[in-house]
Amino acid sequence: MRRADDHHDIPLTELHLDVLRLLATGATDAAIAAAIHTSERTVRRRLKDIGLLLDRSSRTAIVVEALRRGLLSARLADPRETIRP
In the three-class reduction of DSSP (H, G, I as helix; E, B as strand; rest coil), residue 18 is classed as: helix
The pLDDT value given to residue 73: 81
For residue 62, give the amino acid letter: I
pLDDT digits (tens, 9 = 90+) for 8-26: 567 889 999 999 999 999 9
Domains, in order of start, for the chain: 11-68 (1.10.10.10)
pTM of the full predicted structure? 0.76
The pLDDT value given to residue 81: 52
Cβ contacts of 15 within 8 Å, gap of 6 or more: 36, 38, 46
Separation of alpha carbons 29 and 27, rounded Å: 7
Q: Is it the case that residue 6 has pLDDT exceeding 80? A: no
pLDDT digits (tens, 9 = 90+) for 37-84: 999 999 999 999 999 999 999 999 999 999 999 888 876 555 555 555
